Amino acid sequence: MASDAPSRLPGWLSKVWHLTDDVRWMNPLPPAHRRGIVIALLVMLLAFLWPTNTPPYPVERSQTQSGEKEVPMQAEIYDQNASQQNAQPPKADSQGAWRSYTIASGQTLAQLFRDNNLPVGDVFAMARVEGSDQPLSALQSGQQVKIRQSAQGVVTGLTVDGANGPVLFTRQPDGTFIRAQ
């Protein structure tokens, strides 16, 4: 009866099942362990290649159903006078509202984003398409930066004055940024 079992399997499946019989470095292992290693590798390969439903860029989450506020992990210190001086009233646009910020002495764009609770990852995405004149890396104290945010709080654009005039960075539908000007 044991001799009938391999004949019922298709030829290709039998070849795959006995594929590890000729692998030299697996000779010390029993056949069941060899096949177990191959099955484990196939399961891991499938797990890595399985598609996911993650959004292309960070999405803002709404508050919990019970109306409780989430407790921040880090204390945030605000200077009310500085925040009133740095932020101008928003101007409406089809892709969101523009806000104007003034760069403080020694402040980087990433620090400006952190100070105003904006996603710092967007700064790094813009830096990838910054260009050779590097308008984002060469910010000066007192320089104006305009940031456009959608109603959901997603940064959709940034304008900064570069050496050759204003430079605009715009978010694409896939979440990346392009340098428009």
The per-residue pLDDT of the chain, averaged, comes to: 76
Higher pLDDT: 66 or 56? It is: 56
Question: 71-127: per-residue pLDDT in tens?
Answer: 555 545 555 454 444 444 445 556 678 889 888 888 888 888 888 888 888 888 888
Residue 137 pLDDT more than 50? yes
Edge-to-edge strands of the sheet including 96-102?
Answer: 91-93, 96-102, 144-149, 155-162, 165-171, 177-179
User: What is the number of other CB atoms lying within 10 angstroms of the CB of residue 7?
Assistant: 7
pLDDT for 116: 87
Pairing of strands 155-162, 165-171: antiparallel
- For the domain made up of 82-179, the CATH class stated in words is alpha beta
Residue 40 pLDDT more than 50? yes
User: What is the number of other CB atoms lying within 10 angstroms of the CB of residue 160?
Assistant: 20
List the single range of 2-11, 54-63, 70-79, 96-105 with lowest mean pLDDT: 70-79
Which tokens is 156 given? Answer: 């959709």
pLDDT band at 44 (very low <50, low <70, confident <90, very high): very high
Q: State the average pLDDT over residues 131-155.
A: 85
Which tokens is 81 given? Answer: 């006078």
User: Domain spans of the chain?
Assistant: 4-49, 82-179
